[in-house]
Amino acid sequence: MSRVCDLNKLKCNVMGLTWGVWDSSIFSLQPKVILGADVLYDSNAFDDLFATVTFLLQNSPGSIFITSYHNRSGHHLIEFLMVKWGLKCVKLLDGFSFLPPCKASKLSDNIQLAEIALIRKGNAQGSS
């Protein structure tokens, strides 16, 4: 990720996180974008993931969490935890709509790209 930012002459701080681990470095973060690639695979870690993402989003108003998602049967748990942590899906794209046809044709199942944000107070309605 750091190399991609450098190649595009972008100033980015790239940092790996362990979901649910609250070390001192996380408290000063104010990310505009949180990227999570293939982080929704172990349902035992979902609550820690959404707790960490919620903390980071609250620490940086207007920020978003973007992740890829391959439905491996945890869809209902994800919806429940998003409600629990005050999150909403603001954009959901099907993998076939953003992958090149040569790659999309090789998918065995559907992959989605989700943009997730905090539900703002006074706006309990989310969009998807």
State the residue range of the domain holding 77: 25-118
pTM, rounded to two decimals: 0.80
Residues forming beta bridges with residue 67, ordered by sequence position: 36, 114
Residue 105 falls inside a structural domain: yes
Three-state DSSP state, 26: helix
pLDDT at 128 over 50: no
Q: 101: domain CATH number?
A: 3.40.50.150
Q: Is 20 among the domain residues?
A: no
Q: Is 19 a domain residue?
A: no
Band of pLDDT at residue 12, cut at 50, 70 and 90: confident
Q: Is residue 127 included in any domain, yes or no?
A: no
Q: Is 74 domain-assigned?
A: yes
Residue 25: band (very low, low, confident or very high) from pLDDT cuts 50, 70, 90: confident
- CA proximity to 51, closest of 22, 15, 88: 22
Q: Residue 87's pLDDT is what?
A: 96
Q: Amino acid identity of 105? A: S
Per the structure, how many domains does the chain have?
A: 1
